[in-house]
Structure 1
Amino acid sequence: MASTNPKTYDSVPARSVAFLGLGVMGFPMAGHLALAGHDVCVYNRSAAKAQAWAGEFKGRHAATPREAAAGRDIVFCCVGNDDDLRSVVLGPDGAFAGMKKGAIFVDHTTASADVARELAAKATELGLHFVDAPVSGGQAGAQNGLLTVMCGGEAAAFEAVRPVGMAFSRAFTLLGASGSGQLAKMCNQIAIAGLVQGLSEAIAFGMKAGLDMAQVLDVIGKGAAQSWQMDNRGKTMIEDKFDFGFAVDWMRKDLGLVLDEAKRNGARLPVTALVDQFYADVQQMGGRRWDTSSLIKRLK
């Protein structure tokens, strides 16, 4: 598991856990759980990925979500969207069908607040617990075990999960009832969208003006313009490098959730709606898998 910042783990009693979904986020997240001493069984739609994980981390893998979740104290999940989430949770082979009474399902998917509330209600019917817990920090945060996790759900379930989830996190925070984690992640994506567009315009403007923008970023990055995006993406934007990071396709999915929620709650998001269309332009340019900082490509 690639890491530039080796993780140290708190002393936490070992738990029996499952992890569903071994993409660029889930694979290292599940790895941190194993390295922290927890008994981990994984499931992935592509069995080869689950087998590779089990080989690397000396864990176990299962053929279905139900088998992975059977008898486990906590079931973690990180998949693509609402439909993917329902597919691994519900039905005869879904995780809920295998979970023991009182077990906790923790969903790290960036999904809708509606599906979080739906699955929380279903979990309650079955004598289970559900925590929606989307993450921020990207692939590097997952690899280094330094994710920020935004949670919604019951306080008791959250408190039981938090010490275990800190294996891959630097912050694991309860923000309210079911759906609150997903709503907080939407706030995160709204802020990022505006920041990246502003940074793109600043860099493009400075380059047109003939400035040494690497030097300019070093200077303004020590003042009020500083941001994570500037520190971690500014110089790669200048260098026209985008083959890494959080893909434009994923950001458009997230902003779609944001804009749908805004229609329901009446929030006005003019900049977010505009940047979403700018990302559509980047997709048309062939940048579906480019990092979100590729917004600057529209301006060069």
Structure 2
Amino acid sequence: MNIAFIGLGVMGFPMAGYLAAAGHQVCVYNRTIAKAEAWVRAHSGCHAATPAEAAKGVDIVFTCVGNDEDLREVTLGDKGVLHEMKPGAILVDHTTASAEVARELDQAARTRGLAFLDAPVSGGQAGAESGALSVMIGGTETDYARVRPVLGAYAKSQRLLGEVGSGQLAKMVNQIAIAGLVQGLAEAVHFVRRSGLDGEAVFDVIQHGAAGSWQMVNRHQTMLADSYDFGFAVDWMRKDLQIALNEARRNGARLPVTALVDQFYADVQAEGGGRLDTSSLLKRLEKGQ
């Protein structure tokens, strides 16, 4: 298929690469042109000067950018993809954004004879690079059926969860669950250190039991080594948690642990750790915060 991919960050760059490797004709756009040029050198395809130019005449446009406003800019802005997509084409958004903007884009797409799916992903940079992401999707069965085999290029699992906005709501659930897990793991590592136990030995045993989690398996060693450059940044996590907390205020859900962990991440940011990965919650415990 002819595909445009908008946004070549740590997630988008490898995801677009998997689409090219699967045999699709891929044209990319990135705000930093040098990154788009690097992608073309690595994967062939082409790059465009604007999102609209990349989207012209293609079957599917994928977006994977920073936040709601970035998403509006590359879709609805003067040079946004919705101005050039051909009738019947589909816009698939992988950005972690609000359910509100997903519904807004769906309406804008429908008025132009286009289709839309919100499809945030989980798995982090490692999942994107290994082609093993989980994709949470909101939209219609018909639209999802059109893109399902294409998503398979980088999705380990994918599921349609309901109407437009459902994918973003599911991603909020994902981030809510992660927030508490990472804080719990940080406290466990902190306790291990204070108790004098062999951390490697302890986590080697308990990761196979009821306490085990993806975070424990993939982060306990780096946390024990005081190394925090291995994943999703604190700045991004706070953005995601704010989306979840705003939605909770709207729907009446009570998220006391999520709100508390969000403030712990604010402490990390205040100490200059916004670009550290989310496991850096341990740093604030070690500093006595």
- Give the TM-score normalised by structure 1: 0.94
In the aligned structure 2, how far is the partner of 1:210 from the partner of 1:52? 47
In the aligned structure 2, how far is the partner of 1:212 from the partner of 1:50? 46
- Code of the residue aligned with 2:238 in structure 1: it is R
Deviation string 1:179-227 (CA, Å, 9 cap, x unpaired) is 0000000000000000000111111112111111111001111110000
Runs of 4+ in 1 over 3 A off after TM superposition: none
In the aligned structure 1, how far is the partner of 2:220 from the partner of 2:34? 36
Identity of aligned residues (%): 67
1:274-289 equivalences under 5 Å are: 274-289=260-275
- Confirm or deny that 1:216 pairs with 2:202: yes
- Confirm or deny that 1:168 pairs with 2:154: yes
Of 15, 26, 37, which aligns to 1:29?
A: 15
Show the counterpart of 1:228.
214
Greater mean alpha carbon deviation, residues 207-216 or residues 77-86: 207-216
Secondary structure of the 2:266 match is: helix
Greater mean alpha carbon deviation, residues 203-212 or residues 99-108: 203-212
- Confirm or deny that 1:49 pairs with 2:35: yes
Show the counterpart of 1:136.
122
- Code of the residue aligned with 1:94 in structure 2: it is G
Show the counterpart of 1:239.
225
- Code of the residue aligned with 1:216 in structure 2: it is V
In the aligned structure 2, how far is the partner of 1:24 from the partner of 1:203? 28
- Code of the residue aligned with 1:296 in structure 2: it is L
Secondary structure of the 2:135 match is: strand
Deviation string 1:99-136 (CA, Å, 9 cap, x unpaired) is 00010000000000000000001111110001000000
In the aligned structure 2, how far is the partner of 1:121 from the partner of 1:40? 26
Deviation string 1:77-120 (CA, Å, 9 cap, x unpaired) is 10000000000001331100110001000000000000000000
Show the counterpart of 2:244.
258
Show the counterpart of 1:111.
97
- Confirm or deny that 1:79 pairs with 2:78: no
For structure 1, the 5+ residue unaligned runs are: 1-14
Aligned residues: 286
- Code of the residue aligned with 1:203 in structure 2: it is V
Secondary structure of the 1:167 match is: coil
Of 262, 273, 279, which aligns to 1:293?
A: 279
For structure 2, the 5+ residue unaligned runs are: none
Structure 1 vs Structure 2 CA RMSD: 0.7
